[in-house]
Amino acid sequence: MMKRVILMLVLFISLIIPITVRPQTSSITLDVFQDLTSIDLGGIVMSSGLVNQPRIARIVIMPENKEVYIELVTVWKKDASSSFRQLLTFRSNLFLSRIVFNDEFGTVIKGSETWDKDLVSDLVTKGKPTGILGITARLFDKNNIFLSQDYKEIVFLNPSPTISIIAPMEGSSYDVGSVVALWTPVQGASSYKILANVIPEGSSSLEDALRSSNPVINNKDVGDITSIDLRSILDREWIGGQRIVLSITAVIPGPGGGSQIPSVPLTFSLNKLGESSVVVITPELLKLAELINGSVSQTFLNNIMNGQVTIQYVTDETDGNVDPTDLFRILSNLLADRSSIISIKFTPK
């Protein structure tokens, strides 16, 4: 009997205790699809704003059917040593909360957006960026009260670094007194080594010729520059009529001795006495090529080094003409102090 009374008392107390229902907390969750690292962000930012985007992410907003708006902030940095730069900001109009996909912004979910045009241009040049993309999604109610936020960071797949020789040009001929080498910079490289040798008559292997004894340039470490006159670093004299094989190796420090990335060997010829060069590049163009190396397309650099580009005229900020001597001096000063360069913009015609 006592046991039954206690049970009835417990049931009675349970019935009279008021049940409190707490409102569901609003939340926003950003999900980025895994294949984002393989898409061409240059293609995305070139389309009309946020319209016509590939489906690469979704935003889950809970609870559903509440009047809310969201703010998106996208930042990007090109490498670990750089700072984040703001690429995109988007603020939506009010809509009923639900699951939203990125390709709905600007169409189903309308709002205002702002792009960094200079950064967009940089991304278009790179195509598939190798840096870090950060995306912040913030949720607000209809009274502008902040409710929740989420942040995702995507580290893009880094392609294997490569080094390419821009000059001398493959198969071209040059005067014995000066052969300028120019190559693409490699991220993380602390220095570059240059190896060159004479190609013996009848040799069929460039690698064998390159590694044979008594090279004309014997793995000379030239520091972190990306251009040098090969004549100035010869270990033994070369003579007109010889064919030369050249390779440049990037030295990247790291654990276990780091790594070395060699270029593909190329060949060029030395003119005999009385012969003229097939390719003639003015000193101003050589300086210009070295200055913009890494900031413009490889095709344009190749065109400079194979003689397909000429400087018709150069003007200063007052539209006054700059003569070749002053241009050479200006380019030399900029190369000596790259920190004085604000930006380099290349617009193909």
Output the CA–CA distances (angstroms, integers) from residue 258 to 225, 253, 254, 255, 274, in the order listed.
Answer: 19, 4, 4, 5, 46
- Same structural domain for residues 269 and 283? no
Q: What is the DSSP code (8-state) at residue 231?
A: G
- Same structural domain for residues 137 and 170? no
* E strand or H helix that includes residue 270: strand 266-270
In a domain, 4, yes or no: no
Q: How many domains does the chain have?
A: 3
pLDDT score at 7? 41
In a domain, 349, yes or no: no
Chain CA centroid to CA 6, Å: 75
pLDDT score at 10? 43
The CATH number for 115's domain is 2.60.40
Residues with Cβ within 8 Å of residue 226, at least 6 apart in sequence: 182, 183, 184, 185, 192, 290, 293, 294
Rounded-to-integer distance, Cα 26 and Cα 147, Å:
6
In a domain, 18, yes or no: no
In a domain, 126, yes or no: yes
- Give the chain's end-to-end CA distance (angstroms, integer): 99
- Same structural domain for residues 266 and 304? no
Residues with Cβ within 8 Å of residue 332, at least 6 apart in sequence: 287
In a domain, 285, yes or no: yes
Domain edge (last residue) among 123, 155, 187: 155
Sheet with 27-32: list strands edge to edge.
27-32, 57-62, 99-101
- Same structural domain for residues 37 and 147? yes
In a domain, 6, yes or no: no
pLDDT score at 97? 93
**Helical H runs in the chain?**
2-16, 41-46, 117-126, 206-211, 283-292, 298-305, 324-336
Where does residue 159 rank: exposed (0-12), middle (13-18), buried (19+ CB within 10 A)?
exposed
- Same structural domain for residues 69 and 170? no
Rounded-to-integer distance, Cα 76 and Cα 128, Å:
13
Domain edge (last residue) among 102, 128, 155: 155
Domain edge (last residue) among 277, 301, 319: 277
Query: Between the CA atoms of 27, 30, 31 and 36, what dihedral angle is there, to the nearest 10 degrees?
Result: 180
In a domain, 5, yes or no: no
pLDDT score at 144? 94
Amino acid in position 333: N
In a domain, 247, yes or no: yes
- Same structural domain for residues 99 and 175? no
Place of tokens 């991220």: 187
- Same structural domain for residues 185 and 79? no
pLDDT score at 279? 54
- Same structural domain for residues 206 and 296? no
The CATH number for 252's domain is 2.60.40.10
- Same structural domain for residues 226 and 181? yes
Rounded-to-integer distance, Cα 314 and Cα 183, Å:
25
CB neighbours (10 Å) of residue 157? 8
- Same structural domain for residues 212 and 238? yes
- Same structural domain for residues 100 and 223? no
Residue-range definition of the domain harbouring residue 317: 278-339
Q: 289 with 332: CB under 8 angstroms? A: no
Rounded-to-integer distance, Cα 249 and Cα 30, Å:
43
pLDDT along the chain (349 residues), means of 10: 44 44 76 62 47 76 94 82 82 92 80 82 61 89 95 73 84 87 86 94 84 92 90 94 94 83 92 64 67 70 70 77 73 68 69
- Same structural domain for residues 32 and 148? yes
Amino acid in position 34: Q
